[in-house]
Structure 1
Amino acid sequence: MQNEPLAYKMRPRTIHEIVGQQHIIGSATPLFRMIEKGHVPSMLLYGPPGVGKTSIANAIAGSSKLPFFALNATHAGKKDIEQIVMDARMSGKVLLFLDEIHRFNKLQQDTLLPHVENGSIVLIGATTENPFHDVNPAIRSRCGEILQLERLTGDDIIQLLNQALADKERGLGHLEIDITEQQIEKIANASNGDARKALTLLESVYYASDEKDGVTIINDNAIDALAKRIGVFGDKGGSHFYNLLSALQKSVRGSDPNAALYYLAHLLENGDLVAVCRRLLVMAYEDIGLANPSVGAHVQAATEAAVKLGLPEARIPLATAVVEMCLSDKSNSAYKALDSAIAAIHEGKTGDIPNHLKDAHYAGAAELGHVGYKYPHDSPIGTFGGWVQQQYLPDELAGTEFYKPVIAGEEKRMAAIYEKLKSFKK
């Protein structure tokens, strides 16, 4: 055990030792009371790395006293499952912790699922991906609860760090360490809510600091240097990455440049520049739209420049684009109008194209009745250009309005034109 990482050694042994996640397994929760009484339900634990999924499973195992098995779905085979099934038959009931459960294949499921269903195997599945997207419905249906874990708070992390510094059996309590509250807080902040990273950083800082007269004096420079190496919370392509993209768009839509820049920074630190640029370009048309049409061109230029520049320079045009979108007038009327038209088509609200709009660029078109089109440019109307009274929608949809203008920015002018043209129609 001496060679095991500090984060591993400090895992809670029972549910009473769990730090954080009080909304899931705090002493007042139904799950805590069930486990205390010896009943462990099958469940899915969903959340980002380092927030305690494995720790909670181990703590439940320690409190339940059931035979405990742990597998990782990325490399578990059918034989592994069959062995656990055999053990379940021998002992009556076992607890199986299955990490990365979203990678479980059909063959493994077929072997395991009946035993989860009859209760001989209690399954605790863990995943960093959204279980409603990435976990097979057969697994979900047999897990009574889907529990979403949250990133640990700064206070939670500080509590864990202090426990590790005080624990003489499993932690660093047997060592003489000179560390300040400010340094503990700095380590906690660097971990970004990830308990594993916090404890790993503490252990690394200890070994990187100088010793004097048998006392290790924690060095601020060591904390700063090592904190840069522990990585950014989240990963490319995972659920958290898409949550970051969602948070970026909603912050821009909500006109909050500070939040938008924060999420942009997080995304760029994850390194998927192309995905970020694609989302920003969509936002320019989805959320700004007709209220400020020039933004689309600005964001297009910014994203093209970002891709050409690459990181870290790409952050400069992207930051400009994000702030401009945040503080721009906003409208979603154009794409909402298109969505309404699409919905109408799916509802069967269709009709034949009016004859005067059909293609007439061939001999014989007139014989088919494709005549009567009036060319608007031949009928100037003020400074607007050309307009003529003419039906464009099929007869079955005549008079239908899909477009509902938003009175904002440049679209305010367009809305006035739209209403004026409507008034001309007979």
Structure 2
Amino acid sequence: MHNEPLAYRMRPRTIDEVVGQKDVIGPSTALYKMIKSGHVPSMLLYGDPGIGKTSIAHAIAGTSNLPFIALNATTSGKKDVESVVTEARMTGKVLLFLDEIHRFNKLQQDALLPHVESGSIVLIGATTENPFHDVNPAIRSRCGEIKQLKRLTQDDIIELLEKALSDEKRGLGREKIRITKEQVARIAEGTNGDARKALTMLESIVIASDEEDGEYLVDDAIIEQMIKRVGVFGDKRGSHFFNLLSALQKSVRGSDVNAAMYYLAHLLENGDLTAVTRRLLVMAYEDIGLANPAVGGHVLAACQSADRLGLPEARIPLAQAVAEMCLSEKSNSAYRAIDAATAAINKGQVGDIPAHLRDTHYAGSAELGHGGYKYPHDTPIGSFGGWADQDYLPKELKKAEFYKPVVAGEEKKFAGIYEKLKDFRKK
């Protein structure tokens, strides 16, 4: 076995060896053609860990034959950046790969940006965070390409694993390994599109396998043990975490219980219970709303139970809350109404509070013209309770209508009452 990890040894040497990411750097893309013709633009590569950001940077360096320097923004200081600038002055142009670029500090930027702008330094920045949220605008403006990489498909991972098994110089081709296509496919399936994890797992599985006459015998049980150790991808409060929250809410809104359970499980495996319960409470009122008002209380009770129980038991009440929200009637009318009212205020659509609605609990209010309020409870109307015919909005907004009912679930009843009251006002 080699000293360097298999994932390190199997990095592509040129862009033609890159596995996956065909939409970003495949032979038909503009980026591929530019690099092949000798022009390498500064760029940002954005995506989850293990999907090829570092590999693509190395492949571009190998294809372009530019002097290559790799730094990590979390550990590099101003002196490291100055060394890159010195190298660029001496050689004419260098390719700088900067990992974790969203952690780039101002001193590093000030030393580097003019040289990136002049083209003496070609910058390839890699980040797991959304560059439009977390990368400094000064950096973004100097990167002509911002490429979001996707997680590799199972077929991509299988291709990568088969290359590693057959490559005699960099891979495991010199070793005698008895492994089936089904086992390779299971490794690919269990690593969730992460090339680095897949290669690391393959190497670990081979090392952990029994030997017989100099041949490694890969066993299904060892594969399953290793897959359980892989875990989920994404970290707390990273871009992927917020994408999971967004996917959970949209799955509930779309009434897909299976998808919602998948994203809930993923979020809980990341361990941030507080963020999950906050989002579930918002969803109860934003997406279920008046169609099933009882859901708000149910979700609150589930969240309080989850907080008291803690993980892993917290998953049980939360799963019940998510299932109920998925299968409940849905309305966003109240949420849209408050947003419409807020938008009107921000546009300057305001007016004076009608005199009969103003505070009269002090001496002298009558002298100011306050008063004349009709107490609705004094005039019952059918089984509704009380209602009085008087204006409540400022006269400038008398005809404004922010609430538009959704005829679903319990809101059918509210919608009927709303329309009847509108008729009363017209009369």
TM range (shorter): over 0.9
Q: Indicate the residue corresponding to 2:327 in structure 1.
A: 327
**2:71 partner SS:** strand
Q: Indicate the residue corresponding to 2:152 in structure 1.
A: 152
Kindly provide the CA deviation profile for residues 26-77 of structure 1, in whole angstroms up to 9, marking residues without a partner as x.
Answer: 1111111111111101000000000000000000000000000000000111
Find the aligned partners of 1:82 and 1:143 in 2 and give their Cα distance.
20
**1:44 partner SS:** strand
Kindly provide the CA deviation profile for residues 140-179 of structure 1, in whole angstroms up to 9, marking residues without a partner as x.
Answer: 0100010000000000001111111111111111111111
Gap runs ≥5 in structure 2: none
Q: Indicate the residue corresponding to 2:210 in structure 1.
A: 210
Q: Indicate the residue corresponding to 2:295 in structure 1.
A: 295
Find the aligned partners of 1:183 and 1:318 in 2 and give their Cα distance.
35
Shift of residue 231 of structure 1?
2.4
Q: What TM-score do the two structures reach when normalised by structure 1?
A: 0.99
**1:361 partner SS:** coil
Q: Indicate the residue corresponding to 1:36 in structure 2.
A: 36
Q: Indicate the residue corresponding to 1:94 in structure 2.
A: 94
Code of the aligned partner of 1:19? V
What is the number of equivalent residue pairs in this alignment?
Answer: 426
Q: Indicate the residue corresponding to 2:392 in structure 1.
A: 392
Find the aligned partners of 2:371 and 2:303 in 1 and give their Cα distance.
46
Runs of 4+ in structure 1 over 6 Å off: none
Shift of residue 310 of structure 1?
1.3
Q: Indicate the residue corresponding to 2:119 in structure 1.
A: 119
Gap runs ≥5 in structure 1: none
Kindly provide the CA deviation profile for residues 212-251 of structure 1, in whole angstroms up to 9, marking residues without a partner as x.
Answer: 1111111111111121112211111110111111111111
Find the aligned partners of 2:299 and 2:4 in 1 and give their Cα distance.
49
Find the aligned partners of 2:375 and 2:197 in 1 and give their Cα distance.
69
**2:124 partner SS:** strand
Kindly provide the CA deviation profile for residues 318-344 of structure 1, in whole angstroms up to 9, marking residues without a partner as x.
Answer: 111111111111111101111111111
Find the aligned partners of 1:415 and 1:371 in 2 and give their Cα distance.
31
Q: Indicate the residue corresponding to 1:142 in structure 2.
A: 142
Find the aligned partners of 2:277 and 2:219 in 1 and give their Cα distance.
40
Kindly provide the CA deviation profile for residues 360-406 of structure 1, in whole angstroms up to 9, marking residues without a partner as x.
Answer: 11222222221101110111101100000011111111121111111
Q: Indicate the residue corresponding to 1:192 in structure 2.
A: 192
Find the aligned partners of 2:9 and 2:335 in 1 and give their Cα distance.
54
Find the aligned partners of 1:261 and 1:353 in 2 and give their Cα distance.
47
Q: Indicate the residue corresponding to 2:85 in structure 1.
A: 85
Find the aligned partners of 1:64 and 1:157 in 2 and give their Cα distance.
26
Question: What percentage of aligned pairs have identical amino acids?
Answer: 73
Code of the aligned partner of 1:112? L
1:261 aligns with 2:242: no
Superposition map of 1:21-420 within 5 A? 21-420=21-420
Code of the aligned partner of 2:376? P
Kindly provide the CA deviation profile for residues 274-294 of structure 1, in whole angstroms up to 9, marking residues without a partner as x.
Answer: 111111110011101011111
Find the aligned partners of 1:70 and 1:259 in 2 and give their Cα distance.
39
Shift of residue 269 of structure 1?
1.2
**1:366 partner SS:** coil
Shift of residue 2 of structure 1?
2.6
Structure 1 vs Structure 2 CA RMSD: 1.0
Shift of residue 413 of structure 1?
0.7
Find the aligned partners of 1:371 and 1:285 in 2 and give their Cα distance.
35
Code of the aligned partner of 1:398? K
Find the aligned partners of 1:351 and 1:241 in 2 and give their Cα distance.
43
Moved more, 49-58 or 304-313: 304-313
Code of the aligned partner of 2:103? R
Code of the aligned partner of 1:8? Y
Q: What TM-score do the two structures reach when normalised by structure 2?
A: 0.98
